[in-house]
Structure 1
Amino acid sequence: MPESHIRPAHHADEAGLGALDRDTWSPLHSVQPPQQPPYDPFFDSNHRPGHFLVAEDADGSVVGYIRLVPPTTLASNRHVRQIQGLAVACGARGRGIGRALLRAAFEEARRQGAMRITLRVLGHNQPARALYESEGFVVEGVLPGEFHLDGQYVDDVLMGRSLLA
């Protein structure tokens, strides 16, 4: 099993991250339809390289990412960071990359002065929910039937955890 390491994203990662995002698309975690060519850029004014940590294999290939951002621009909310995206390449799953990305995001959020971290996950995404719960996240709210996906109404689950101690 090849080793991977976590590092900040760079502009040069754009093509690899875009391909990873498209390859891992699933109605289990996405509320938007899959992208069709021509593809939108992965990075834009709201999705900058500084928002992402990437998991890179020893051969230099990007096998995962996590997006960590302030949830709002409000000064009263600056102690919180939000995870707004986590993906692991299908062929790299089961190696602990998702867990490593989460833990790296905790450290980065602390480095940025955050005391709390939050995320949103679709209610039917049991694998992601189990991972988040195993890393200390708890359900803090549920928006019942918030999305209509593949013919069914799906809850939007709000989760969070402290970064203290």
Structure 2
Amino acid sequence: MPDDDLIIRPAQPEDERELAVLNRAAWSTLSDVSPEPPADDAVFDERHTPEQFLLAILDGRIVGYVRQVPATPLASNRHVRQIQGLGVDGTVRGRGIGRRLVEAACAAARAEGARKLSLRVLGWNTPARRLYESCGFAVEGSLAEEFLIDGSYVDDVWMARRLAD
């Protein structure tokens, strides 16, 4: 059931500490190919700026985020944006917050002139794949056994959603 008092807003530099805590708590081998971030790991840097993040705020605290960026720096690819991170606090999962964040990322990409929003998801991450499919994303390709995580080879699944009519 959606939370009517949920606010989706752009991140601000002062959100970094709280966002870092959520990012670390949301880390899992189910969804991440990078090592677990250290406790003092920064979220924002020259490649990860506050403007790239939308935050879900519930009862005054950050409970989710989505990061959306240009797919590449190429002018010929300017019409494509990519989700490069989605996390929801485990205590509020199942309440539609992930869906609201994905839809907000789609709306923001469309407002920036994008015609397509793409993402990559690990093949074994069934909950995320179902979420993206329910938001209109379709599989466009897959790289078999692209990652070795905890002794298992995992596919890298590419999904996308058209934003233009």
- TM-score (structure 1 length as normaliser): 0.96
Q: Deviations over 1:11-31 (max 9, x none)?
A: 011011100010111100011
CA distance in 1, matches of 2:33, 2:159: 17
CA distance in 1, matches of 2:48, 2:100: 21
Q: Which runs of 4+ in 1 moved over 4 A?
A: none
Q: Percent identity?
A: 55
The corresponding residue for 1:140 is: 140
For the residue of structure 1 that corresponds to 2:117, the secondary structure is: strand
User: What is the 5 A alignment of 1:14-93?
Assistant: 14-37=16-39, 39-57=40-58, 59-93=59-93
CA distance in 1, matches of 2:33, 2:155: 11
Letter in 1 for 2:24: R
Unaligned runs of 5+ in 1: none
Q: 1:95 deviation in Å?
A: 0.8
For the residue of structure 1 that corresponds to 2:95, the secondary structure is: coil
CA distance in 1, matches of 2:68, 2:87: 13
Pairs aligned (count): 163
Higher deviation after alignment, 27-36 or 139-148? 27-36
Q: 1:40 deviation in Å?
A: 2.4
Letter in 2 for 1:160: A
CA distance in 1, matches of 2:123, 2:97: 22
- TM-score (structure 2 length as normaliser): 0.96
Q: 1:147 deviation in Å?
A: 0.4
Letter in 2 for 1:54: L
For the residue of structure 2 that corresponds to 1:66, the secondary structure is: strand
Q: CA RMSD in A?
A: 1.1
The corresponding residue for 1:96 is: 96
